[in-house]
Amino acid sequence: MYHSLWLFLRLVSTAQFVLGAAVFNWPDPLLDTLEDQLYLPGISASSELALDCLARDGSTVAAQWLRLAYHDMANHNSTTGTGGMDASILFEFTRPQDIGVGMFESLSDFAFSSNEYVGLADSIAMGAINAVIDCGGPVIPFRGGRIDATVAGPATVPEPQQDLASHIASFKAQGFNQTEMIMLVACGHSLGGVRKVDFPLIVTENVPTGIQTFALTVGFDNTLVHEYLNSTTENVLVVGSNITTRSDLRIFSSDNNVTMQRLASSTTFNTVCADLIGRMIDTVPSSVTLTDVIEPFNYKVTKTFLFPQNGSLTFLASLRIISSRNARTPTITMFWKERTGSFCPPKGCSVGTSDDTVADSSFLAQLKGVPFFDLFSFNASIDLKTSISHFWFEANDNDGSTPFVVDNNGANYTIHQDVVLYDPLRSDTSNPFSVLVVGVKGPGSNPSVTALTTLSGSDIPFTTSKTSVFTLDPSLPPADGYTFYSSSISHIGQLISSNTIHATINGTAYSRWVPSLDIG
């Protein structure tokens, strides 16, 4: 299988180490979500569905994802700074140049990936990266922060019947010169083909599978280039009977094949394609600023909860660490300090792990040298009167080296407030009529508590938002100095992607982000 054959070679030859990578300062919902989707399997469709260049509809999932990404970007205008990777394809996939069963299927693949902070455009971009590596291609750096469009963009996707001048003008508008146009088309067309039912004027012959592929082999490589140069190609956009739609021939030969000769080198092909597809997915409206490249975070705090229980505050937290790949399991201790008063010793209160497990990594993470993650869980009992202001960790590798501190890049992991707390034990998220519960410290003064909930489903638009109001819950008596308010959220056929709980207590505003992994 592709997966097993590529892994060792990829770790040695193509894994990229990027300087200036994004730094995760907890809490950061955008980076938190994107890093999970990139490097944990099962979090996002794009981490698994295209593995081993999985076949679908006579083509591959990867080819469909790569086409979707280019067609989404192709309405960019580098002069005006509009368009680009902005998920406007959601409103465009029925246009003649965008049709194809793979377009809606691919959009559906990413339907449940968005939340309040991460949109469909980022998912489409991640899909392009995974499409390439899942078919044997190079690793492409990922930056996040794309913003989804709410309307269709201009119909500027190049079409096969257009002349060379039109193609050069289209790619120039997107930000690519003529040489880059040749390269990007060769990279993109290393996968996939043309479906007869969608483009009967291009595929004029009967093909048993219903699709005329661009190359005779499956995989992201330069076979297409060699078949073109050796005149053995069956690429319908080069040798098709409809001369008008031989767009690849016009593009590839537009500089007397100089660029295609360069791409005959596998090393050059991979380097060029990684750069150009990376530029393609990073082509965004000028109003959008992308993050730095997101690499696997060495240390990541997740699944944090603070809530009243049995006369104290229960604090749950998990620390995820990239595995050191040695035989020793590190010893991790969590420390914290009080919010008010004095309760902890000078070094801080502390607790050991309540559980430690191994978490699998995605294929992309493995290509970057991360075989798996170590996940350490903590369950601390916090004094109600003094509460908690911040926490940190001390890690001992048990190999004779000096223990080291994990403290949010020197800033500590700060608990900003203990007045409005999401309560996972009193909440019920096990059915389509979820009940969220928050505890409000003290009697309050007509507290106003709402939740902005992001719901993901299979219908367009895939992501919707609703605001719900929390009311005093008579079934939950006050306890440990907290009064409990609840809100019921109906989400039949939808998943709760995230909630942001907002509250105003005695004139002070509070908020708490609750990602999907925290609520069910």
pLDDT at res. 385? 94
User: DSSP string of 122-165?
Assistant: HHHHHHHHHHHHHTT-------------SS--------TTS-HH
CA distance linking residue 22 with residue 206, whole number of Å: 50
pLDDT at res. 183? 98
pLDDT at res. 520? 37
Find all residues with CB under 8 Å of 510, minimum gap 6, and list them. Answer: 417, 419, 420, 502, 503, 504
CA distance linking residue 45 with residue 110, whole number of Å: 6
CA distance linking residue 28 with residue 326, whole number of Å: 30
Q: What is the largest CA-CA distance in the chain?
A: 84
Q: What is the distance in angstroms between the CA of the first residue and the CA of the last residue of the chain? A: 34
What single-letter DSSP state applies at residue 477?
A: -
CA distance linking residue 312 with residue 382, whole number of Å: 6
Architecture of domain 299-414 in this structure = Sandwich (2.60)
Q: What are phi and psi of 293, to 5 degrees?
A: -60, 135
The beta strands (E) that lie in 6-127 are given as 55-56, 59-60
Is the domain spanning 420-518 CATH 2.30.30.100? The answer is: no
Options 2.70.98.40, 1.10.3720.10, 1.10.520.10, 3.40.50.2020; which CATH number does 2-281 get?
Answer: 1.10.520.10
Within 10 angstroms of residue 448's Cβ, the number of other Cβ atoms is 12
Query: Where do the CATH 2.60.40.2440 domains begin and end in the chain?
Result: 299-414, 420-518
pLDDT at res. 14? 34
User: DSSP string of 391-448?
Assistant: EEEEEE-SSSSPPEEESTTTT-EE---SSEEE-TTT-B-SSSEEEEEEEEESS-SS-E
Query: Where do the CATH 1.10.520.10 domains begin and end in the chain?
Result: 2-281
Name residue 421's amino acid.
L
Q: What is the pLDDT along the chain (520 residues), one digit of tens a residue?
A: 434 333 333 333 333 345 579 999 999 999 999 999 999 997 766 668 899 999 999 999 999 999 999 999 999 999 999 999 999 999 999 999 999 999 999 999 998 888 899 999 999 999 999 999 999 999 999 999 999 999 999 999 999 999 999 999 999 999 999 999 999 999 999 999 999 999 999 999 988 889 999 999 999 999 999 999 999 999 999 999 999 999 999 999 999 999 999 999 999 999 999 999 999 999 999 999 999 999 999 999 999 999 999 999 999 999 999 986 565 678 999 999 999 999 999 999 999 999 999 989 999 999 999 999 999 999 999 999 999 999 999 998 888 888 899 999 999 999 999 999 999 999 988 777 889 999 999 876 678 999 988 888 888 888 888 898 999 999 999 999 999 999 998 887 778 888 899 999 988 999 988 887 444 3
